[in-house]
Structure 1
Amino acid sequence: MNHTLPAGRWPLVLLLGATLALHGCNEPSTATATPVKTAGDSPYAAVTVQHKLGTTVISQRPQRAVALDMNEVDFLDQLNVAVAGMPKDFVPHFLARYKDAGQTADVGSIVQPNLERVHAARPDLILITSLQANHFAELSDMAPTLHFDVDYRDSEAGHVALVKQHLASLGEVFGKQDLARQKVAALEAKLAQARNVTRDRPERALVVLHNNGAFSAFGVHSRYGFIFNDLGVKPATATQDTGLHGQPISSEFIQQANPDILYVVDRTAVMEHRPLMTADTLGNPLLRQTNAWKNSRVVFVDPEAWYVTGASPTSLALIVDDVIKGYQP
């Protein structure tokens, strides 16, 4: 029998409104295995995972995993684990095959999952992040529920370590330890590519989010802090905002910061399903005065990797590719 601690009662009728229950993280979650016998003769090492919301015990290998965050879907995909259910409101291009997959139930939205649909998917494991943390008790009463301790507000410390640790933990859960180690090694090699490019480079970079004509900036202590901390990119400003959407800035701010490299995350393209903006469609005269623009080092990044995910093996690999583009002539 599977157990998750702590557990709350699962109300079938009452649907609680989802909020962004965002949590910081100081230590990666940990998983330990204890050999037990399952039904039949096949042994399974029961896995105990400690995370910020409690301790989850998984005593049988999951057969129907439901992932409520696109990062979690990518983890399952990387480990060749079937996805029994997932939100399908914002599915990134690198997971597009799940969008219309009949065997993968649509369980609502990332921020507000439909708990009745989750229950109907008959999960024996549920994977969540801080975006769904306020439903932990209800979900835990359906099935063992694991919380991925990634901090979407401030990724400056431990972001990459958390991704690698989560891979290892899920490898233990699904009995795919060797594959998980291979994926961790591949991720480490990819991140090393970025560090090899940024090492000893003088260029200063600015990461901005575009949202219907307005901009916000992200510094070292923000959702993109790992760009500076783990990839070695030098920041162009001392912005300290830790909000999900950065610190609102003006075009004059970008002009005065005068970054050598400008990374633009087009949130509008994601949220309104519009084509990704380009240098021609941006057309901001103040931005055109920056060194980044003059030297053709404005990178319109993959917004689905940067904004929809950003904390999974595939998204980190795509982010590394975008970061490297900024240093290319």
Structure 2
Amino acid sequence: MTCNIKLRAWGLPVLLVVFAVLQGCDQKAIEATQEPLSLGGTQVESASYETVTVKHKLGTTVIDKLPQRVVALDMNDVDFLDQLGIPVAGMPKDFVPHFLSQYKEAPQVEDTGAIVAPNLERVHMAKPDLILITSLQAKYYKELSEIAPTIHFDVDYRNSETSHIEVIKEHLITLGQIFNKEKLAHKKAAELDARVAEAKRVTLSRPEKALIVLHNNGAFNSFGVRSRYGFVFNALGVMPASPVNEAGLHGQPVSSEFIRQANPDVIYIIDRTAVMEHRQPLNADTLSNPLLRQTTAWKNNRVIFADPEAWYITAASLNSMKLIINDVIKGYDQ
């Protein structure tokens, strides 16, 4: 701020007033030059920014300045940003999990359309300087990259048997580097490690075998070790009750008779219908399936109606992993 005042041969009182005005101008100029940028409720120094180069499955993305407007096209990335205190400029609002509900009606957050088919015009309207995507939006990578630097979260939704937790933590740390939030990102990663370790302590040496099934309008799909929920068996130590190992996003169709014959000690039910049709999830009273009621899991009150939004909409972020781990542990606490 610059203040110019022309002095004349005025009296002492007038000169004193002028001197005070000049002092005020100088002080405001100093404060203006010292004021740091604000991002997500924290003070971030703007004097310098160390370039971050991110290599991912779709290419290499270079971030050479601190992003101010971020569009996240997958709910997992919205959760990462929320955990790191980074404002969200745009996101799809068709399937927003309950733990991110504050963004659903937020007027300052641009609705970018559907998770699987983002509206590129709306993405552009959000004026992003960084875009975050997963495999669900991968086919739009070229167009999105023309709008702003775009980073692909390399999580495998079809087969999470190996490295699922590590991929989550790596992406978290990368975002921490981009937004100068490395310390917080490492703290959050350590918290996730602690929850995973807790789950392993619960499942360690336990003989119970579990089945993970997806409910879809009365039909069921089973998920084995090499599937979307493979990490439950591999990383969390749950023993599988089914030999079904086919990798896939939607699992292997199975009958109620198959579930009864597998006779699991624990059943985790993910109600896809509740998510897709925005209905109340199934519970023990509303699931009227006589064959499931004959299983050991049902008889011992170990049928866990999992959080469908954490398991189905996300399952690869900090909040969703904590909720999934809570559900897994419930299967052994009943």
Normalised TM-score (structure 1):
0.87
Correspondence for 1:270:
275
Q: CA deviation at 1:174?
A: 0.3
Q: CA deviation at 1:241?
A: 1.9
Q: CA deviation at 1:318?
A: 0.2
Q: Distance in 1 between matches of 2:255 and 2:243?
A: 15
Correspondence for 1:65:
70
Q: Structure 2 residue aligned with 1:240, among 222, 245, 248?
A: 245
**Partner letter of residue 190 of structure 1?**
R
Bigger Cα Rg: 2
**Residues 39-81 of structure 1 deviation map (CA, whole Å, 9 limit, x = unaligned):** x971101000000000000000100000000000001001000
Correspondence for 1:144:
149
Q: Structure 1 residue aligned with 2:126, among 105, 110, 121?
A: 121
Correspondence for 1:191:
196
**Partner letter of residue 246 of structure 2?**
D
Correspondence for 1:311:
316
Q: CA deviation at 1:280?
A: 1.1
Correspondence for 2:85:
80
SS class of match (1:207): strand
Please report the RMSD computed on the Cα atoms of aligned residues, expressed in angstroms: 0.9
Q: Distance in 1 between matches of 2:260 and 2:67?
A: 52
Q: CA deviation at 1:192?
A: 1.1
**Residues 79-101 of structure 1 deviation map (CA, whole Å, 9 limit, x = unaligned):** 00000000000000000000000
1:229 equivalent in alignment to 2:234? yes
5+ residue gaps, structure 1, are 1-39
**Partner letter of residue 79 of structure 1?**
L
Correspondence for 1:107:
112
Q: Distance in 1 between matches of 2:46 and 2:284?
A: 62
**Residues 229-272 of structure 1 deviation map (CA, whole Å, 9 limit, x = unaligned):** 00000000111121211000000000000000000000000000
Aligned residues: 290
Correspondence for 1:130:
135
Q: Distance in 2 between matches of 1:241 and 1:72?
A: 27
SS class of match (2:325): helix
Correspondence for 1:256:
261
Q: Distance in 2 between matches of 1:110 and 1:217?
A: 24
**Partner letter of residue 231 of structure 1?**
L
Q: Distance in 1 between matches of 2:332 and 2:318?
A: 22
Q: Structure 2 residue aligned with 1:201, among 194, 198, 206?
A: 206
**Residues 194-245 of structure 1 deviation map (CA, whole Å, 9 limit, x = unaligned):** 1110001000000000000000000000000000000000000111121211
SS class of match (1:42): coil
Q: Distance in 1 between matches of 2:332 and 2:155?
A: 28
Q: Distance in 2 between matches of 1:317 and 1:281?
A: 26
Which residues of 2 match residues 284-323 of structure 1 at below 5 A?
284-323=289-328
**Partner letter of residue 109 of structure 1?**
A
1:174 equivalent in alignment to 2:182? no
Correspondence for 1:219:
224
Q: Distance in 2 between matches of 1:57 and 1:190?
A: 33
**Partner letter of residue 244 of structure 1?**
L
> Higher RCO, 1 or 2 (CA under 8 Å, sep at least 6)?
1
Q: Distance in 2 between matches of 1:299 and 1:87?
A: 29
Q: Distance in 2 between matches of 1:265 and 1:62?
A: 36
SS class of match (1:78): helix
**Residues 146-192 of structure 1 deviation map (CA, whole Å, 9 limit, x = unaligned):** 00000000000111000000000000000000000110011111111
Q: Structure 1 stretches (4+) deviating beyond 3 angstroms? A: none
SS class of match (2:89): strand
1:93 equivalent in alignment to 2:98? yes
Normalised TM-score (structure 2):
0.86
SS class of match (2:207): coil
**Partner letter of residue 113 of structure 1?**
P
